[in-house]
Chain A
Amino acid sequence: MRRLRKYGFVAGFLAFPVALYSVFVIGPYVQAFQISFTDWNGYRSKLRYIGFDNFIRLFDDEVFWQALRNHGILLLVLPIVTVVIALFFAFLLNLGGGPRGAGMRGIWGSKFYRVVFFFPQVLAVAVVGVLFKAVYRPDEGGVVNGALIKVGFEPVGWLIEPDLALWSVIAVMIWQAVGFYVVLFSAGMAAIPKDYFEAAALDGAGRIRLFFSITLPLLRDTVQVGWVYLGIAAFDGFALILVLAGNKGEPDGATTILPVEIWKTAFTYSKVGYASAMGVVLFFLTVTFAVLTLRTTRRERIEL
């Protein structure tokens, strides 16, 4: 009886969120899987099942492979660069000032920098997009090119050269993400007991040694989480790319990504079934990435 009351209490609390989650998250997922096996166009009232046809077609779809290639580049570059920069900044902000009194300090003015680093994170993606459209503008009206032209250089087509466009977009993504990970890693560093640093410093470890031998190993879990987040972000980029480069993957498919293709295929080309198949593939890609990352980087926890 007591047990029932206890679990009844818990279940009572859970019922509502679980219901919400089922209706608004699980339900749509299940339906997308269902629709991916049909040729539904978004208008028909009846679903017609066509088996794995949509998935087979994906294999011959150049645009799909182009998108995967771009996601591959994003997946390689975005997490590494963001994590490295964020770790560097977080270290400077929290421990870069070296040991002082009881514990470690950040470099001079670190409180101010911390706020500044976080600024991009506060801006909505659309705002960031519009901002960087102005930065990358290819004529004398652009922030970068205006300066280049004044100094006497040729303007650079940041977003219109096929070899540059994706990198320009990645730069914006990194610029926007770093602030958040600086804060995340700062919180992680604050949780590391000060004694370790003191002990290491007493033994004569410099800042670089402190970072690689104390900070990084003890921050491993946080970095891992950050890595997974950034990996998932590498499968997205929808809003930013839509604002910066439009929905056609211009130039020459350099900025083609799956979320934009899915959205376009479903709602512009009225191929909801095919778009759902892409969505299902994207789902498995993301899940695979997350599981792989967590699996391969797992190890024994360090008890602090």
Chain B
Amino acid sequence: MTHPGEITRRELLRRIGLTAVVAGPGAGLLSACATAGSGEEPSSAPASSIAVSADPKNPFGVDATKPLEVTIFSGGYSDAYAKDVHEVIYKRAFPAATIKHNATQQIGTQLRPRFVSGDVPDVVNNSGPEGLDPVALAEEGQLVDLTALFDAPSYDDPSKKVRDTVTPAVLANAVIDDKPLQLGYTVSHRALWYNAQLFADKGWTLPKTWAEFKALGDTAKKEGILLFAYPGQKGPYYQLWNALYTAAKIGGNQVLIDIDNLVDNAWLSGPVKQAVSAWVDIQTNYGDKAYFGLDHTQTQIKQLQNKLLFYPVGSWIENEMAKDKPKDFEYAIAPIPDVTAADKMPYGAIQVGVGENFLVSTKGKNPAGGLEYLRIMLSKEGAKGFTEKTLNLTVVNGAAEGLSLTPGLKSAAKAQDVAGQNIITDARFESWYKEMFDYGTAQINVVMAGRITPEKFCQNMQKKADAIKKDSSVTKQTRSQ
């Protein structure tokens, strides 16, 4: 799901159950009995790539009678899209196959032991705060190379390859250790989200420069509305994203690419410092420190009550708050205002990213079936069904055609058109170097609260990046774009 730091109620209860074991001296023993007999040589990795045949109906040569096991993260998107859409299509194609459907909110906890023992589901929706570590799985040869999938004829049009039917970002996002191993399925638009209805009522326009942004802050202050807030509890990573995207807007995507590649002194670059300073200034002059103690839901409710104008988040917010949203509240996306007069990316740049990763396991009983399942997900029917069930867009081009989109999604689509080529990239160290990302989410709170200077923030982050770079136990990843 889109909230790596969120603790769901169920998960919380489970964690409480955990404490019985973690409490006191027994901590660290949770891993008990987790190794599959020490000292054994790893079983020779099965072929991680599958050949593609020309048969557009069954390019991976799926055995029509073999069962397929699918594990879905039943978080914000629930699992109906798999059960009622994708699996139904699969059954239609292979009526003799049985599908074992499994939905959980603890993907990692449930599947880690299964991956170690070799009894794995074929398709895994690797999501949620307790997801599996894809890099570690890739290292073990547990993931099927998706090149075959991307080169296969697409489900709807055999003359087109799958890779030509999806947003190009999918292909970049898929890469782990130089091979495409995971499929991001959803598209989200991140920038600042606000209530378009409120702006219309007050006659306000979106600020395009930092000066206009602050001027609006003064106007809003008079009405008792806060210009900007982010949740200091559970959701500070929203602000880390926001600061990073602002840095990319100022200095171009290369700023984030350098950070991801652990380039020396990447965090000390001018744009990062400028972006952080700009936001610290907003927090100091227009913020409210109470939000450091509120979580994302509490903050989002406050926005629904028109107590704050801009909230740094992604397009899933609309669906997430659908139940609490009053009728006169209309979510819309606002690009980050120009920080300097010479920002590399012009006003209008937003972040468009892919997420919600799916994996096919090499050691499953039916890897070809797994690939076919992903191909079905990338069909127009499959993607449309997902959007209908979850109100979120998929990476499949044109799959939402004919669907009546919500105001928020419409605004996001429009913003993407306006942005054109000026799409801010995602910061991949979030999944590559989780430790650095976690440290960043803690540090952003410290700097925003004014307990350290933006310079110190950059230095701290650089120190952490250097430590990660030196840490031989962390597998390094690189990206070129």
Q: Are A46 and B42 in contact (CB under 8 A)?
A: yes
Q: Are A248 and B442 in contact (CB under 8 A)?
A: yes
With A39-B473, A47-B39 already in contact, the answer to whether A267 and B109 are too (CB < 8 A) is yes
- 0 or 1 for each of A34-53: is its CB under 8 Å from B? (1 = yes): 11100111111111000000
* 18 interchain pairs, CB-CB under 8 A: A29-B29, A39-B473, A42-B34, A44-B116, A45-B43, A46-B39, A47-B39, A138-B289, A158-B293, A160-B293, A239-B16, A239-B19, A246-B5, A266-B30, A276-B31, A278-B28, A279-B26, A283-B28
Interface residues on B, range: 35 or more
Q: Are A31 and B15 in contact (CB under 8 A)?
A: no
> Looking at the complex, which one of B31, B140, B438 makes contact with A268 (CB distance below 8 Å)?
B438
Residue of B nearest to A138 (CB): B293
Task: Contacts A40-B31, A262-B28 known; list 12 others, CB within 8 Å.
Answer: A43-B139, A47-B35, A125-B16, A238-B27, A248-B438, A248-B441, A249-B442, A251-B445, A252-B442, A269-B434, A275-B28, A283-B27
Q: Are B34 and A138 in contact (CB under 8 A)?
A: no
With A137-B294, A250-B445, A282-B25 already in contact, the answer to whether A43 and B13 are too (CB < 8 A) is no
- 0 or 1 for each of A281-299: is its CB under 8 Å from B? (1 = yes): 0110011000000000000
Stretch at the interface among B129-137, B254-262, B416-424: B129-137
In the assembled complex, the CB of B264 is this many whole angstroms from the nearest CB of chain A, namely: 21
Q: Are A139 and B133 in contact (CB under 8 A)?
A: no
In the assembled complex, the CB of A241 is this many whole angstroms from the nearest CB of chain B, namely: 10
A-B pairs, top 5 by smallest CB distance, nearest first, are: A279-B28, A28-B32, A138-B293, A139-B290, A283-B25
A242 within 8 A of B: yes
With A41-B136, A46-B41, A46-B42 already in contact, the answer to whether A282 and B112 are too (CB < 8 A) is no
A270 within 8 A of B: yes
With A45-B42, A268-B434 already in contact, the answer to whether A239 and B133 are too (CB < 8 A) is no
Query: Which B residues are within 8 Å of any A CB, using their own CB?
Result: 5, 7, 12-13, 15-16, 18-19, 22-36, 38-43, 108-109, 112, 115-116, 118, 130, 132-133, 135-137, 139-140, 142, 232-234, 288-294, 298, 434-435, 438, 441-442, 445-446, 449, 451, 473
Kindly state the separation between the CA atoms of A287 and B26 in the bound complex, as whole angstroms: 11
Chain A contact residue count (CB 8 A cutoff): 69
Residue of A nearest to B132 (CB): A43
- Give chain A interface residues in 151-210, CB to chain B under 8 Å: 155, 157-160, 162
Residues of chain B lying within 8 A (CB to CB) of residue A43: 112, 115-116, 132-133, 136-137, 139-140, 142
Residues of chain B lying within 8 A (CB to CB) of residue A287: 25
Residue of B nearest to A282 (CB): B27
Specify which of B25, B136, B233 lies most central, judged by the most chain A CB atoms within 10 Å of its CB.
B25
Residues of chain A lying within 8 A (CB to CB) of residue B108: 267
A272 within 8 A of B: yes
Kindly state the separation between the CA atoms of A271 and B28 in the bound complex, as whole angstroms: 11
Kindly state the separation between the CA atoms of A36 and B35 in the bound complex, as whole angstroms: 13
